[in-house]
Amino acid sequence: MEFSTTYLVLAAVFGLFMAWGIGANDVANAMATSVGSRALTIHQAVLIAAVFEFLGAFLAGGEVTATIRKGIIDVSVVAETPEYLVIGMLASLLAAGTWLLVASTFGWPVSTTHSIIGSIVGFAIAGIGVDAINWGKIGFIVSSWVVSPLLAGSIAFLLFRSVQKLILSTEDPFGNSKRYVPMYIFLVGFIIALVTLFKGLKHVGLGYSAGQNYLMALIVGLIVMGVGKFFVNRVRPDPSLDMKFHFANVEKVFGVLMIFTACAMAFAHGSNDVANAVGPVAAVVGIVQSGGQVIGQKTALSVWILLLGGVGIVLGLLMYGTRVITTVGNSITELTPSRGFAATLAAATTVVMASGTGLPISTTHTLVGAVLGVGMARGIGALNLNVVRNIFMSWIITLPAGAILAIIFFFTFKLFLT
């Protein structure tokens, strides 16, 4: 291929730019509940996200990547002109990254999954033809945008109801919080460990039987619970706090739990949304390195590509992430650590389940659905419906914005790189 080196360089640069956009917008989204509930300061949230987003992207990011890379368009249609697929993927990365930069500048919490899928569909319609799009797969993905917030909202509703029943509505809320919070911490460690063991470690050359995976996840859950229990036991009640807010001391215990759920959400987000940046990069690398021969075939996902995505996400978060954290963390509903825990664990559970099945869901949709579920557990009046409406509008705009930008970039690249 004539421009093979140029294609590879641009794929790496645009993939890094897209991952940067994910860090600036979507990671900020994922950490907003922790900051909004005041369980973590914004600097602590950024530090936790940087570490666990990278681990999630690197250890468990490969399943969803395959869907983004091969599932959305029928690549056999461009078997004769593989360079069209290459410049289309480059156009999609640049378009989605550009839209995320715009959205992050205004503090809009948009979906990075919407951005890249809208971009890929846009380039395919303009550059290949409507028939090249796998509409069945698109329908499957679109359905996940409805199912994932409903699922996360339902899990969050049930989790917060359990918190109300076991802790908040009892005669000794503080004592019961110290009794039950370690169990919730166990749940966090067990779920994240289980998904990582089943779906992630094969990318680093490790694979175990189902029984071994469950046993190791159980051990990890117990270790995490032990660490959590140590910190929970150090929380001492301050009677003066409860005069301002009846559950202030209970929320101090949940603040410990929120640190663990923040780690889980960052890991979950990295495992699912890194695909939005590295999927198209993997497609370009596979085609270029084979001289256009591997279209439609399974190509290995290079470790350096996942590494690129992980680094880009962390850079975006560190450089530009605080804008969207501030928007989401304080606006949808009033969050306390107990409410934030229910929302974050529900969203993380939904995301890692989707990541394990290869379904590229929107973390934004999932988290907002979970926050709405917590709000609904307290009644509809607990929600700021104006903010919810604005968020929904930004989601609707994202798909056409990505598609239009991708079409513009596709024809520009076609002019200079073919």
CB atoms within 10 A of CB 298: 10
The whole-number pLDDT of residue 265 equals: 78
Question: Of the spans 48-62, 131-145, 253-267, which averages the highest pLDDT?
Answer: 253-267
Number of structural domains, the chain?
1
At 80, is the secondary structure helix, strand, or coil?
coil
Among positive and negative, which fits the CA dihedral 151, 154, 160, 161? negative
The whole-number pLDDT of residue 64 equals: 57
Band of pLDDT at residue 81, cut at 50, 70 and 90: confident
Helix ranges restricted to H, 61-111:
62-66, 82-106
Averaged over 93-108, what is the pLDDT? 90
Q: Is 43 exposed, middle or buried (0-12, 13-18, 19+ CB in 10 A)?
A: exposed
Q: How far, in Å, CA of 310 to CA of 41, rounded?
A: 23
Which of 11-15, 60-64, 358-362 is the least confident region?
60-64
Residue found by looking up tokens 């923040």 in the block:
262
pLDDT in tens, 288-323: 887 766 555 555 567 788 888 888 988 888 888 777
Structure tokens at 251: 């929320």
CA distances 359 to 60, 111, 301, 352, Å, are: 13, 15, 17, 10
Residue 273 pLDDT greater than 60, yes or no: yes
Residue 129 pLDDT greater than 90, yes or no: no
The whole-number pLDDT of residue 381 equals: 62
Q: How far, in Å, CA of 6 to CA of 11, rounded?
A: 8
The whole-number pLDDT of residue 70 equals: 57
Residue found by looking up tokens 């996200």 in the block:
49
Averaged over 168-184, what is the pLDDT? 90
Structure tokens at 66: 């395959």
Q: Is 352 exposed, middle or buried (0-12, 13-18, 19+ CB in 10 A)?
A: buried
The whole-number pLDDT of residue 94 equals: 96
The whole-number pLDDT of residue 200 equals: 54
Residue 392 pLDDT greater than 90, yes or no: no
Structure tokens at 176: 């019961």
Provide the residue range defining the domain that includes 152.
Answer: 4-416
Q: What backbone torsions phi and psi does residue 383 show, to the nearest 5 degrees? A: -100, 145
Averaged over 156-171, what is the pLDDT? 90
The whole-number pLDDT of residue 364 equals: 76
Single out the residue of 324, 373, 372, 374 nearest to residue 168, CA to CA.
374
The whole-number pLDDT of residue 9 equals: 93
**353 against 373, higher pLDDT:** 373
Helix ranges restricted to H, 28-134:
28-36, 42-60, 62-66, 82-106, 112-127
Which of 6-10, 150-154, 392-396 is the least confident region?
392-396
Q: How far, in Å, CA of 310 to CA of 273, rounded?
A: 10
Band of pLDDT at residue 252, cut at 50, 70 and 90: confident
Band of pLDDT at residue 394, cut at 50, 70 and 90: confident
Band of pLDDT at residue 223, cut at 50, 70 and 90: very high
The whole-number pLDDT of residue 69 equals: 53
Residue 399 pLDDT greater than 60, yes or no: yes
Q: What's the whole-number average pLDDT of the chain?
A: 81
Averaged over 261-269, what is the pLDDT? 80
Residue 332 pLDDT greater than 70, yes or no: no
CA distances 97 to 43, 89, 201, Å, are: 25, 12, 28
The whole-number pLDDT of residue 1 equals: 58
**231 against 390, higher pLDDT:** 231
Q: What backbone torsions phi and psi does residue 379 show, to the nearest 5 degrees? A: 105, 150
Residue 195 pLDDT greater than 70, yes or no: no
Contact between residue 265 and residue 271 where contact means Cβ atoms under 8 Å apart: no
The whole-number pLDDT of residue 16 equals: 94
Band of pLDDT at residue 11, cut at 50, 70 and 90: very high
The whole-number pLDDT of residue 333 equals: 64
Contact between residue 48 and residue 31 where contact means Cβ atoms under 8 Å apart: yes
Residue 343 pLDDT greater than 80, yes or no: yes
Please spell the DSSP secondary structure of 351-391, one letter per residue: HHHHHHHT----HHHHHHHHHHHHHHHT-GGGB-HHHHHHH
Which residues, in sequence order, are bridge partners of residue 333? 383
**376 against 157, higher pLDDT:** 157
